[in-house]
Amino acid sequence: MPYPGRGHINPMINLCTLLASRDSITITIVLTEEWLGLVGSGLDRPNIRLWSIPNVLPSEHDRVADIIGFIESVFTKMEAPFCRLLDQLDDLPVSCVLADTLLPWITAVGSRRSIPTVSLWTAVPSTFLGLYEEFPGESLIFYQVVWLCSLASCLGLDRSLAEFSFHHPHRLVKILIETKNHRDHGNTAYRNEEP
């Protein structure tokens, strides 16, 4: 299951194509309906299936206008349809879930269903290495949070959220949403003001 963005979907498809070179493996790539339409069915491997979950996210064409709403939707609305899809895969038992590192709920789904999960990091290796060296032995959830803090920084928000967010990653998303709402209404208290 890739994060719903081209820079995440393409690497996932490339990795799955390599894995599918072993004919004994059947791979199901799960996308949103919109992304399934964008990607198409161009995979020519008989052991790769493209399945979709409903469009529970803002459209790919509109997500830039509300990136925080998009991220919140990824974190809160994709899990349930993904679980329903897993329930429908009766023809082949799921032996492993390979998912994007930025889908924090996948690990919990795998744990509840006793399915091993593997995380795919699609950003440049130097970013991962920098995070790994800075926070050795920490949970991958932290890398997701660091990504959110980077997003907060890009939006001009206070980077001191990083420490708080390590302990409360889902609350960080709420803070980002509330902050965006304040900014949309002219409140600049949450912005980093340069001297």
Coil, helix or strand at residue 87:
helix
Say what the pTM is. 0.66
Q: Are residues 117 and 169 in the same domain?
A: no
- CA 93, distance to chain mean position in Å, is 23
Rounded CA Rg of the chain: 18
Are the CB atoms for 143 and 123 separated by under 8 Å? Answer: no
Q: Are residues 95 and 110 in the same domain?
A: yes
Tokens for 117? Answer: 């999960």
4-54 pLDDT, tens digit per residue, is: 988 888 888 888 888 888 778 888 899 999 988 888 766 778 888 889 999
Are the CB atoms for 123 and 157 separated by under 8 Å? Answer: no
Q: Are residues 71 and 139 in the same domain?
A: no
Q: End of a domain among 68, 93, 122? A: 122
171-195 pLDDT, tens digit per residue, is: 545 555 555 555 555 544 433 444 3
Residue 193: CA count within 13 A, CB half-sphere = 5
Domain count, the chain: 2
In this prediction, residue 194 carries a pLDDT of 40
Q: End of a domain among 105, 122, 139? A: 122
Tell me which residue of 126, 125, 131 sits closest to 149, measured CA to CA. 131
Per DSSP, 3 falls in state -
Q: Is residue 168 part of a domain?
A: yes
Q: Is residue 89 part of a domain?
A: yes
Are the CB atoms for 143 and 128 separated by under 8 Å? Answer: yes
- Contacts for 79 with CB less than 8 Å, ≥ 6 apart: 105, 109
Q: Which domain holds residue 136?
A: 124-190
In this predicted structure, the answer to whether residue 55 has a pLDDT above a threshold of 80 is: yes
In this prediction, residue 33 carries a pLDDT of 92
The residue type found at 137 is G
Q: Is residue 4 part of a domain?
A: yes
Q: End of a domain among 122, 138, 154? A: 122
In this prediction, residue 147 carries a pLDDT of 52
Q: Is residue 150 part of a domain?
A: yes
Segment among 13-22, 99-108, 127-136 with least mean pLDDT: 127-136
Q: Is residue 98 part of a domain?
A: yes
In this prediction, residue 188 carries a pLDDT of 44
- CB count, 10 Å around CB of 96? 12
- CA 7, distance to chain mean position in Å, is 11
Q: Are residues 27 and 114 in the same domain?
A: yes
Q: Are residues 33 and 115 in the same domain?
A: yes
Q: Are residues 80 and 59 in the same domain?
A: yes
